Chain A
Amino acid sequence: MIRPELRQNVYIRGDAATPKFRVRELDLFYGTFQALKSVDMDIEANEITALIGPSGCGKSTFLKTLDRMNDIIPGCRISGKVELDGADIYAGGMDVNLLRKRVGMVFQKPNPFPASVYDNIAYGPKTHGVRKKSELDDIVESSLRRAAIWDELKDRLKKSALGLSGGQQQRLCIARALAVKPDVLLMDEPTSALDPISTGKIEELAQELKKDYTIVIVTHNMQQAARISDKTGFFLLGELIEFGGTDEVFDAPREKRTEDYITGRFG
Chain B
Amino acid sequence: MTFSAFKETAMKVVFAVTAAVFILCVIVICVFIFARSVPAIGEIGLFEFLFSTEWAPNNTPASYGIGTMIVGTCFVTAGALVIGVPIGLLMAAFMARYCPKPLYKVMKPMTNILAGIPSIVYGYFGMMVIAPLIRDNFGGTGYSILTASIVLGIMILPTVIGVSESALRALPNTYYEGALALGATHEHAVFMTEFPAARSGILTSVVLGLGRVVGETMAVVMIVGNSTALPDSLLDGVRTMTSHIVLELGYATDLHRGALIATAAVLFVFILFINLLIVAIRRKGRAK
B281 within 8 A of A: no
* CB proximity of A9 to chain B, nearest CB, Å: 22
Q: Binary interface profile of A, 93-108, with partner B (CB < 8 Å = 1, else 0)? A: 0000111110011010
Alpha-carbon gap, A127 to B177, bound state (A): 14
Residue from B172, B177, B179, B288 in contact with A123 in the complex, judged by beta carbons closer than 8 Å: B179
* CB proximity of A261 to chain B, nearest CB, Å: 29
Residue from B174, B183, B192, B196 in contact with A111 in the complex, judged by beta carbons closer than 8 Å: B174
Known: A107-B178, A123-B193, A127-B192. A114 touches B288 (CB 8 A): yes
* Docked-complex contact B175 and A113, CB < 8 angstroms: yes
Alpha-carbon gap, A113 to B288, bound state (A): 11
* Docked-complex contact A180 and B174, CB < 8 angstroms: no
* Docked-complex contact A115 and B196, CB < 8 angstroms: yes
* Docked-complex contact A127 and B178, CB < 8 angstroms: no
Q: Which residues of B lie under 8 Å from residue A109 when comparing CB positions?
A: 174
Alpha-carbon gap, A173 to B177, bound state (A): 12
* CB proximity of A227 to chain B, nearest CB, Å: 26
Task: Give the B interface residue count (CB, 8 A).
Answer: 18
Alpha-carbon gap, A31 to B69, bound state (A): 62
Alpha-carbon gap, A173 to B178, bound state (A): 9
A47 within 8 A of B: no
* Docked-complex contact B288 and A180, CB < 8 angstroms: no
B141 within 8 A of A: no
* Docked-complex contact B174 and A123, CB < 8 angstroms: no
A12 within 8 A of B: no
Alpha-carbon gap, A104 to B174, bound state (A): 15
B182 within 8 A of A: yes
Q: Which residues of A lie under 8 Å from residue B179 when comparing CB positions?
A: 113, 123, 127
B197 within 8 A of A: yes
Task: Give the A interface residue count (CB, 8 A).
Answer: 27
The DSSP consensus for interface residues of chain A is helix
Known: A100-B180, A115-B196, A127-B182. A107 touches B174 (CB 8 A): yes
Alpha-carbon gap, A112 to B178, bound state (A): 8
A67 within 8 A of B: yes
The DSSP consensus for interface residues of chain B is helix
Alpha-carbon gap, A27 to B111, bound state (A): 43
* Docked-complex contact B177 and A69, CB < 8 angstroms: yes
Known: A127-B192, A160-B288, A162-B288. A107 touches B177 (CB 8 A): yes
Alpha-carbon gap, A111 to B193, bound state (A): 12
B78 within 8 A of A: no
Q: Which residues of B lie under 8 Å from residue A113 when comparing CB positions?
A: 175, 178-179, 193, 196-197
Kindly report which residue of chain A lies nearest to residue B172, judged by CB atoms. Answer: A111
* Docked-complex contact B177 and A100, CB < 8 angstroms: no
Alpha-carbon gap, A177 to B288, bound state (A): 23
* Docked-complex contact A100 and B288, CB < 8 angstroms: no
Alpha-carbon gap, A127 to B193, bound state (A): 10
A124 within 8 A of B: yes
Q: Which residues of B lie under 8 Å from residue A104 when comparing CB positions?
A: 181-182
Mark out the residues of chain A between 146 and 177 whose CB falls within 8 Å of any chain B CB in the assembled complex. 160, 162, 173, 176-177
Q: Which residues of B lie under 8 Å from residue A124 when comparing CB positions?
A: 182-184
B188 within 8 A of A: yes
Q: Which residues of A lie under 8 Å from residue B174 when comparing CB positions?
A: 107, 109, 111
* Docked-complex contact B196 and A127, CB < 8 angstroms: no
Known: A113-B175, A114-B288. A177 touches B196 (CB 8 A): no
B185 within 8 A of A: yes
Alpha-carbon gap, A112 to B288, bound state (A): 12
20 further interface pairs, Cβ-Cβ under 8 Å (given A100-B180, A100-B182): A67-B181, A100-B183, A101-B183, A104-B181, A107-B181, A111-B174, A113-B175, A113-B179, A113-B193, A114-B197, A115-B196, A123-B179, A123-B192, A124-B184, A127-B188, A128-B183, A160-B288, A176-B182, A177-B182, A180-B182
A: which residues have CB within 8 A of B? Answer: 67, 69, 72, 97-101, 104-105, 107, 109, 111-115, 123-124, 127-128, 160, 162, 173, 176-177, 180
Closest 8 CB pairs of A and B: A101-B183, A111-B174, A105-B181, A124-B182, A100-B183, A97-B183, A111-B178, A127-B184
